[in-house]
Structure 1
Amino acid sequence: MEQLPGAGAPAQDQQEPLHGLVLALERVSAGLLPDVGGKAANLGELMRSGLPVPAGFCLTTEAYRRATSPAGLDDVHAALAATAPDDLPGLARLAADARRLVLAVDIPADIADAVRAAYAALGTDAAVAVRSSATAEDLPFASFAGQQDTLLNVVGVDAVLTAVRQCWASLWTDRAVSYRATHGISPSTVSLAVVVQRMVDAAVAGVLFTANPVTGRRHEAVIDASPGLGEAVVSGAVNPDHFVVDSATQKILERRIGSKGVAIRPLPGGGTERVEQSDAGSQPCVDDAQLLALERLGRRAELHFGAPQDLEWAIDGGGVLWLTQSRPVTTLYPLPERRRVREGTRVYLCFSLAQGLTRPLTPMGLAGFRLIASSVARAAQFDVPEPHDGPTPYVQAGQRLFFDLTPVVRSAVGRAIVPRVFDVMESRSAAVLRRLFTDPRFSVTSRSPWRVLRHVGPVAARARVPETLLRALFRPEAALRRAERFGERFRAALVVPAGSTPVQRLDHVERILGHELFPVVPNILPLPALGFASLAAAGRLLGDDAGQGALQPVLRGLPNNVTTEMDLALWQLAAAIRADAAAVAVFDDAAFDGAGVPELVRRYRARELPAVVQSGLAGFLGRYGHRAVAEIDLGMPRWADDPSHILGVLANYLRLEDPGQAPDRQFSKAAREAEAQVERLAAAAGERSRLHAALVRAALKRTRMFAGLRELPKYHIVEALAAVRRQLQAIGTELASAGRIGEADDVFFLDLAEVREGLAGRPLQHLVAQRREDYEQELGRRHIPRVLLSDGTEPEALQTGDAGAKAGTPGLLTGTPASAGTVTATARVILDPHGARLEPGEILVAPSTDPGWTPLFLTAGALVMEMGGPNSHGAVVAREYGIPAVVGVPDATSLIATGHSITVDGAAGTVVLDAGASGPQQQPAHE
C-alpha cells in the first residue's frame, strides 16, 4: 500500500480505491459520495483544497455492504420501510435488531487486511479518531450531525477494527433510524463508510459557523471554544467561550467567557477521560490572533464549498490549527434570489406567511404570483419589463414569496401607514418593521406623499373607489348588491370556451392571472375597510362611554362572511348526517381508522355513500370545492379534487355531543348579542345627544354589514386560482399523453413559460424530477422569517430573550388579543390540518391559519397562533364563533405540546402553561 500523505496535501488526480476498499483521505472528493459518505467527502474536499486536515483514510461503503450482507438486514429494512415515522417504539425495536445483527458480523479477512495496511501507514500504534460517514449525512439539505458514532483516541489495529464495527452499528441507532424515517429516506438506500484520522492532541478545540446560525447574518463567524478535545463542546458537556467575528472588518463583535468546567482529554493507550476544571473560566482559551486565523480558515472552506459551513477544529500543543470536520449550515434560511436583489441592504417581507402559509409554494404557484404581482404593478403604473418574471419588488427565497419593503421603510408615509395595517393583520411583522426604523441603513429618504398618490390614485379612480365608499355610506344595501354583481361578472370572466386547444387554455390562464384577477381588490376591499373605519369612528364618538373592550362584541356573528358561511354549511351537513343512522355508521370510530378517509373518498367517488352524505357532500363541494388548505398555491389540490380533509372535519363534528355547543347556535347567539351591543352603545351615546346616538348606531350597523366582507376578495381570488388550476390540469393531461411529463400533476412543478415550451415539444421530465425533490426538501423547513434582509439577517432574531414570555413569569406566553374570553383546556398542536383530529373543546395551537383551516374552529375551545393580528383570518373567524383567541405568539407550536393543559385569555393576549408543562426545545444539531 502507498504511503498516506499528511495534512493539507494539494489536489491530485483521482485514483482507484486502495485494495478496492480503502481510499487515502486526500484522494476523496465530493464525486465519491456514494462510496465514502458525507463526512469523508467533505474532509477530502478540505484536504484537496489545501486546508489543514489530519491525515487518514476512508473505509468505503463497499466494505460495509460486504461485511453486513450475510447478516440478514433485508428483513429489517423491509420492516422499517413499513413502519410509520411516528411509531417510535416500533422503530426503536427494529433499530435494536439491526444493531445486534451488525455488531455480530465477522469482518471479512480482506477488509481487515486493508484496514491494517492503511492504519500502519499512519504510524505504529498511532492514536486515531474513527468517525462514521453515512451516505445520507452532511448534505446541503439535511444535516445528520450526531446521528452516527465517533470514537476518539483509538490505539492499535484491533481496537480500530472494533471501532469500525461500532460505527457500522451506529447507522442503526434509534435517533438515526427515526431521523431517516421522518425525512422519508428508505432504509435500504443508506450505507456507511468509516473515516480513520490521526488524532489531534488538542490543547483547545471547538466549533465554527461561518455564518451566524441564530441571526442569519452571513458576514459573522461564530466560534465556540474550550480546552481539550472538541467533544466537550459539540456534546454540550461544557459552557464554552463564545465569540462572534465580523468577517468584513475582522473585528471581534462579541466575547462571552464560559465556565469551561469540564475538559475531555485522551488517555495513554487509548480512550478519553472527563476532567473537572475549577479555574478555567477566568480567561479565554483562545487569543484574538487564533480567532481571526480560525475565521479565515472557515471563510476559505465556505468559499470552496460555495455555502456557509459548520466546522469542527482543534489547536494542538504546538499551536497548529486543524480542521476535523465540515458540513453545510442547514438551518440558515436561503437568501433571496440574487438576480432580483438591488444594490444595498434590502428589507423583504414574507408574503406567504402574511397569507397564513408556512409551507413552500410549488413552482407553478410561484409563477402564478409573479404574473399576478406584475398585473398589480402595471395597474399602479410601475414599469414591468417581463411580466412572467414579476415586478422588481418581487423575490423568492426558500420557495416562498417575499416583497421588497425597502421603499416603504425609507418613506415617511410608508412608516406611518404600513405598520398600522400590520398591527391588525400580522402584529409581529409590524413590531419587526418598527425596529428597523432606528437602523441608519434604512433612514427616511422620501417624505412627500405624492409619490404614493401618483401610483395609488389611478388605481382607485379606475375602480371608482370614492363612489363605492359614498354609496356604502349613504346606500349600504345598494353597495352590497353592487359587490354581488361584480362577483357574478368576475365568475363569468373565468370561463374558458369549450373545445379550447392546450395553447388556448394556456393563453386563458395568463389572461386570468395577468388581467382579470387584480380588479377584485379595489372593487371589494373598500367595503370592509369602511366597515372597520366605521367601528373606529363609533369608538371616537363614544369616547370613555364605551368602556374597554365594548366594541369587540360588535364583530361577533358578522353576516356576509363567506368563510363562516362555508363553515356553517359544513356543520349543517354534519347535523343532517347525525339525523341519519346509516350515514352516522360510516363515520363511527370503528370504521374511521387509519384507512377510513381514503375509503370514504373512494365510496364518494363511486357514489356508494348513503344519500344524505353523497348528495350533501356533492352540494357542499359544488359551492366550496374550489377552496383548500394553502389555497393561494396553484399546485395544491382543491377540496373538489380531494375531499379527504372535509370528510375528516365531518368526523370531528360528529363527535360533538353537547347540543348547547352546536356552532350554528353559538353563531346565532353571538349575532343576537352583537345586535344588542349595538343598541346598548347607541343608548350610551344618546346620553350626549340624539345625534350621537344616531351616528353611533349608523356606524355600527355599517360595521356589521361590511366588516364580514373582509374575506370576500380572497374568496374571489381563490375562485380564479381554482379555475386556472383546472385549465392547467387539462394541459398537464395533454403533456403527459405526449410523453413530455410523467403525469398530469407534474405541470405544477413547471412555470408558465416552461409549459409553453412543453407544448412546443420540449421534454420536461428531468426538470420536474429535480423540482419535486427540491420541493420535498423544503417542506421540512419549520422556521420561516417574517422579515428577511438581503444579507440573510433575520431582524426578529436580533432581539434578546424570549419574545414569547414575560421576563420573570415562567409559563406565561404573550401575543396579540384577538377574541375575548378565557378557556382552560387541553392543547392540540396541529401543523397541518389534513387528517388532523381535534377533539371538541380542545385548544387549537397552530403556526398560522388560512380559510382552509377554519372548519376546525367550530369545535375548538380556543385558538392560539404563532402568526396573525386582530384582523387576520383566524382572528376574524374566532371572534365570529365566540371562541377566545390569542395570535402572534412566538414559537407557540414549540413551547406548547399536545396534551398540555393551558389557559387562553383572549382579552389579555396571554397563554398560561400549567406548572411543569414545557414544549420541546429546538437547538442546532451537532455531533
Structure 2
Amino acid sequence: MTTALDFSEIHGGMPAEAGGKAANLGELTRAGLPVPPGWVLTTEAYALAATGLDLTADDTLAERARRHLLEAPVPDAVHETIVKRYAALGPGAPVAVRSSATAEDLPFASFAGQQETYLNIVGAEAVVEAVRRCWASLWTDRAVAYREANGIDHAAVRLAVVVQVMVDARVAGVMFTANPVTGRRRETVIDASPGLGEAVVSGAVNPDRFVAYGGEILERQAGDKRLAIRPLPGGGTERVETAEHGLCLTDAEVLRLAELGNRVEDHYGAPQDTEWAIDDGGTLWLTQARPITTLYPLPEPARPGLRVYFSLNVVQGVMGPLTPMGLAAFRLIGGGAAGVAGHGPADPLDGPAFMAVSGQRLWLDLTTALRSRPGRAILPRVLTLGEARGVALVRRLFDDPRLAPARSSRRPFLRGLARFARRVRVPSRVLLALTAPERALGYTRRVGEVLDRRLRVPATATPAQRLDHAERLLAATFPSIVSVMPIVLTGYGLFALASRLSGLSLAETQDVLRGLPHNPTTEMDLALWDLATRVEPEPFAELTVAELVRRYEAAELPPVAQRGVAAFLAAYGHRGVAEIDLGVPRWSEEPAHILGALANYLRMDAGSGLAPAALFAKGEAQAREAAARVVAAARARGRWRAPVARFALRRTRAYAGLRELPKFYLVKALSGVRHSLLAVGEHLTGLGVLAAPGDVFFLDLRETRAALAGGDLRELVARRRAEHERESRRRHVPRMLLSDGTEPEALASPAAEGALAGTAASVGTVTGRARVVLDPVGAHLEPGEILVCPSTDPGWTPLFLTAGGLVMEMGGAMSHGAVVAREYGIPAVVGVPDATHRITTGQEIEVDGAAGTVTPSSPDQAPTTSA
C-alpha cells in the first residue's frame, strides 16, 4: 500500500491514487514545467482514515462524515509518513496543504474551491492537522451539493492531499489560456495582484487584468489592489491593507506568463486554467493547472480559416445534445438539402460541408454566405423570419476584416439558386399561390399524403431493408417538404407588400398574423382542447399522471377518453419534446405529457376567455380588425392601393400559418424512421450486439449496418450514453460560434446610459429582482433573483443554485464566483464598485455578462431590507 508519492512519481493518469490536482502537478513536473517541489498523501491514506465511515445517504451524511474525519485519530502509519515526508522538504519548511479529490479538475467539472487549501503551514504536527481538515472538507455541504449537481457518486469519491513548498510570492494570480468569457482560444487572460494568489482566486481583491494574444498585449487594466495576502513568519497568513499604484506586472512578465500558458496548453492539448506566482528573485512558478470546463467545444470537422457557425439546436429550442443517430439523420437530410442546389456530398452519410457537430449539437457554417455579397443581403432577411436575435450578431460580423467579402464571381451562387428554384419549382408554385389558393393548399396536403405512403414499411422487411428504407427516406425528406416553402414565402411577401402599400411598419401590422388557419401546431392544440371538452373529467382530476398513463396503456380509461386520446395520438403522436432528435421517444410511446396537458385543460374554466379556443377566436377577430386598418391606411394613400392590400392580406392569412408545416412533416418522417430503427434495435438485441432496442440510437447509420454482421457494442453504447448525459448538463450553448472559440454574443457592446460598469465574468443577459446579501449564512434567494454581494467563496455556492445572475463588488473574471457562475450558466459581472450600496434588494436590474454592465431600472427606488 502506497500512502505517499513524490510529484515526479505521478502522472496525469493517476487521479484515482493522487486526485485531480496532484495528478496535474505530477504531469506538469514530469513535463519539465516550473512546479514548486512537493508530494501527495494518496487516497489510500484517506481510505484508512475513513474506515468505519457511514455513507448512508440522508440529510445528515455530510455532517456525520465531517465529524468522523475530524475526531478519529490519524492512523499511525499515515502520521509517520506525513512527518517523514515533511522533514525531507527541509527543516521548518513553509508548505501549502491542498485538497486533491478524485472528482476534481475533471474535463466536465472543475470543482473549483470545493475542498480546502491551507497556506504557509509550518511544522509537522501543523501539517497533520491541515491534512485532517482537508479530508473533512470533502464532506462540506457545498461539496456534497456540487457532486450531486454533477451526477457524481459520493461513495466513489476519495481525497488525496498535496503538500507543496510555498512560494513567497511578490505577485501571483491566475491565468486562462483561452478567454473564459468570449471563448477565444489562445487569448491569454491574466489576473494578478501583489502577495499570494489566494487574494485573486477568492475574489477578495480587484486584480490587475491583462489580455495577450499572438505575442502582443491587447489589454492592460489596473485594479485597486487594496488588499494583499502575505505569509506570516511562524506560519499562517495575514491580510494586509495596501496602497498599490500602477500595474503589478511588467509587459515582459505578462508575455513570459502567456508563453508559459501556451506551453501548458500544448502539453495537455486543451485550454487550461492555471495558478502561478513570481517570487522576489523573478522566478516564475506554476502552482496549478486544470481544464477550463466552461468553454464550448469547437465544431468538427475543422475547416481552414476563420469559420462562423450558427446553432441549429438553439434555433429549434433544443438546448440539449442530440443522440448519435439523431445527428446521423440530420447529416443525411442535410446532404439531400445540399443536393437540391447541386452541392451534395460524395457520400450522403457524411453530410454537407456546411454542417458541423460540436458538443453533440448541430451547427450550420455560415462563412460562405457571410463572405459573399448576395449572402450578406439574403442572410439577415432569412434570420429575421425565425431567429431575430441572430440578425444583430451577423451584422456585427460584417465589420470583421477577417470576414470581408471574397472577390469572386456571383455565377456559382446564381447557378445554385437557379438549380434550387427549378428543383423546388418556385416560379410555378408562387404563381399557383397567387392565382389559385385552394389548389395551393391542396398541394400542401398532398405532400403529407405522399409522405405517409413513403413511411410505410412491410412488416416482413429485413433489418437491412429497413435501414435502406430509412436512408432513402431521410435523403428525400428535404426536397419533398421544402416544396411547401414557396407558398409560405408568398404569403409573407404579400404581407410585406400590404404593409408597404399602407405606409405602416411591419410591427404596426403584426396583428394580421394572429389566429392563422392551416397551422398544424395550432390545430393540434385546438384538437386537444376539443378533446378536453368531451372527456369524462373525473379520472383526470383525481389521478396522478403516472396512473393515467398506466390506465391508458391498459385501455382502462373511460371510453370517450380512451378513444379520444388514441385518436389524438394517431394524428399527433409522432411529436414530442426535443422532437428533431429521432433518438427521443414520441408522445405515442410516452403519452405522459399529453395526458398531463389534458388534465391541465380540464382545470380551466371554458367560459373564462383563457381557453385555447376562445383565445384563437379572439386572435382571429383582432386579425380582421388589423386587416381592415391596413386596407384603410392603404386607401388613404391612393384608391388603387386598397384592393391590392386586401388581396395581399387574404393570401397572407391563407398561407402564413403553413410556416409550421415543413417541420410537422419533418418530425413525422423522423418518427417513422425511429419506429423502423427500433425494429432493427430489437433484432440487434436478439443477436447480443445491444443490451436494449433503444440502444440503436447511440450508434450512427454506418455502425448500425455493420452491426448486423454481429459483435458486441454494449460497452460503446454505455460510454456514449454517459457522454450524452454529461453533455446534457451543459448550462450554456452559444447561439453563434467562431472557429477560434469566440462567441459573438459575448463580445462587449456599448454600455447603456446609467449602467454600473464592472468586469464581464459569465456570458448572458438576465433581468430580475436584486437580492443584496452581505453574509450567506441564513440568506434566502428566491429562484431567478440576482445575487448582489461583496465577494464570494465556496460557502456561497448553495445560493448559486437558485440565482438568476450574479453581481460582485470584488473579484476578476477568474475569481471563484466568476468560475462557478460560468459552470452554473448564470450571467455574472464582478468588480462593480460599491454594488451592495448602489443596488437595493427588490430593485429590478439587468445584468449583461458579456458587456460587464449592470443596469438598474430605477436608481432612486427606496431601499428594502438586505438579507
Do Structure 1 and Structure 2 share a fold, with TM-score over 0.5?
yes
Match of 2:526 in 1: 568
Instruction: Give the 3-state SS of the residue equivalent to 1:148 in structure 2.
Output: coil
TM normalised by structure 1 equals 0.81
Matches within 5 A, 1:881-892: none
Aligned to 1:718: 667
How far does the alpha carbon of each residue in 1:545-588 deviate from its partner, in whole angstroms, 9 at most, with x for none?
x47844111111100000111112222233334x63344222xx
* Residue of structure 2 in register with 1:349 after alignment: 310
> 2:281 aligned to 304, 318, 326, which one?
318
Give yes or no for contact 1:348–1:402 (8 Å, CA) kept in 2: yes
Alignment counterpart, residue 122 of structure 1, candidates 89, 93, 104? 89
Letter in 1 for 2:159: L
Tell whether 2:122 aligns with 1:155. Answer: yes
Deviations 1:440-460 (A, max 9, x none): 111112575432221122232
Shift in alpha-carbon separation, 1:343–1:826, aligned structure 2, 3 A = closer
Question: How does 1:233-244 map onto structure 2 within 5 Å?
Answer: 233-244=200-211
Confirm or deny that 1:477 pairs with 2:458: no
- The verdict on how the C-alpha distance between 1:801 and 1:60 changes in structure 2, with shifts beyond 3 A counting, is farther
The separation in 1 between residues aligned to 2:28 and 2:426, in whole angstroms, is 63
Alignment of 1:180 with 2:180, yes or no, is no
Equivalent residue for 1:431? Answer: 392
Identity %: 54
Aligned pairs for 1:284-295 (under 5 A) are 284-295=247-258
Show the 5 A alignment for 1:208-607. 208-246=175-213, 248=214, 250-277=215-242, 279-280=243-244, 282-337=245-300, 340-446=301-407, 449-515=410-476, 517-543=477-503, 546=504, 549-577=507-535, 580-586=537-543, 596-607=544-555
Aligned pairs (5 A) from 1:811-850 = none
> Are the aligned partners of 1:412 and 1:446 in contact in 2 as well (CA < 8 Å)?
no
Q: CA 1:547–1:116 in structure 2 vs 1: closer, same or farther (change >3 Å)? A: closer
Residue pairs, 1:631-780, within 5 angstroms = 631-657=579-605, 659-687=608-636, 690-780=639-729
CA shift, 1:734, in A, is 0.9
Letter in 2 for 1:766: E
Corresponding position of 2:19: 37
Partner amino acid for 2:510? Q
Cα distance between partner residues in 2 of 1:134 and 1:892: 20
- Deviation of 1:45 (Å): 0.2
- 2:769 and 2:551 map into 1 onto residues whose CA distance is 34
Q: How many residues align?
A: 783
Classify 1:612/1:688 alpha carbon distance in 2 versus 1 (closer, same or farther; 3 Å): same
State the 1:672 CA deviation: 2.0
Q: 2:169 aligns with which of 188, 202, 205?
A: 202
Tell me, yes or no, if the aligned pair for 2:98 and 2:162 is still in contact at 8 Å: yes
Provide the alpha-carbon RMSD of the alignment: 2.8
Query: What amino acid sits opposite 1:528 in the alignment?
Result: V
Structure 2 gap segments, 5+ residues each: 758-766, 771-782, 785-803, 806-822, 829-839, 851-867
Distance 1:175 1:255, change over 3 A: same
Distance 1:74 1:921 in 2: 42
Q: What CA deviation, in whole Å up to 9, does each residue of 1:505-555 have, x standing for no partner?
A: 01111011112x012343111111111111111111112xx4784411111
Q: Give the Cα–Cα distance (whole angstroms) in 2 for the partners of residues 709 and 341 of structure 1.
A: 37
SS in 2 for 1:243: strand
Q: Give the Å deviation of 1:796.
A: 2.0
CA contact (8 A) 1:153 1:271 kept: yes
The alpha-carbon distance between structure 1 residues 158 and 121, as it changes in their structure 2 partners (threshold 3 A), is same
Matched residue type, 1:709: L
**Conserved? CA contact 1:465–1:522, under 8 Å:** no
CA contact (8 A) 2:40 2:163 kept: yes
Taking the TM superposition and a 5 Å limit, the aligned residue runs for 1:5-84 are 20-71=2-53, 73-75=54-56, 78-79=57-58
Deviation at 1:32, TM superposition (A): 1.7
Quickly say closer, same or farther: Cα 1:502–1:176, change in 2 above 3 A: same
One-letter amino acid matched to 1:573: L
Match for 1:620: what amino acid? Answer: F
3-state SS of paired residue (2:533): helix
Which string of whole-angstrom CA distances, capped at 9 and with x for unpartnered residues, describes residues 199-251 of structure 1? 111111000111111111112111111011100000000000100111x3x11
Counterparts of 2:354 and 2:621 in 1: how far apart (Å)? 45
Deviations 1:624-680 (A, max 9, x none): 110111111111111111122223333433443472221211111211221233234
SS in 2 for 1:220: strand
Question: 1:655/1:921 Cα in 2 relative to 1: closer, same or farther (>3 Å)?
Answer: farther
1:879 equivalent in structure 2? none
SS of residue in 1 equivalent to 2:640: helix
Q: Which amino acid aligns with 2:502?
A: L
Q: Which amino acid aligns with 1:765?
A: R
Q: CA deviation at 1:920?
A: 9.3
Q: Distance in 2 between matches of 1:684 and 1:255?
A: 57
CA deviations on 1:120-141 (whole Å, 9 max, x unpaired) are 1111221111111111110112
Looking at structure 2, the residues matched to 917 and 116 of structure 1 have their Cα atoms a distance apart, in angstroms, of: 56
How far the C-alpha of 1:67 sits from its partner, in A, is: 1.0
Partner of 2:478, secondary structure, is: coil
Q: CA deviation at 1:895?
A: 6.6
Superposed, 1:603-622 pairs within 5 Å as: 603-622=551-570
* Counterpart contact for 2:340–2:479, Cα < 8 Å: no
CA contact (8 A) 2:341 2:416 kept: yes
Amino acid at match of 2:416: H
Give 3-state SS (helix, strand or coil) of 1:408's partner. Answer: helix
Q: Which amino acid aligns with 2:289?
A: S
Residues 502 and 710 of structure 1: CA distance in aligned 2, closer, same or farther (over 3 Å): same
**2: CA distance, partners of 1:185 / 1:226:** 35
d(CA) in 2 for partners of 1:678 and 1:893? Answer: 43
**In the alignment, which residue of structure 2 is the partner of 1:792?**
741
Pick closer, same or farther for the CA change 1:917–1:158 going to 2, 3 Å.
Answer: farther
- Structure 1 match to 2:816: none
Residue 614 of structure 1: CA displacement?
Answer: 2.6
Paired residue secondary structure (2:33): coil
* Structure 2 residue aligned with 1:905: none
Distance change >3 Å, CA 575–CA 383, structure 1 → 2: closer
CA distance in 1, matches of 2:37, 2:587: 59
Q: Which runs of 5+ in 1 are unaligned?
A: 1-18, 80-89, 587-595, 812-823, 828-841, 844-864, 867-890, 897-912
Check conservation: 1:413, 1:447, Cα contact below 8 A.
no
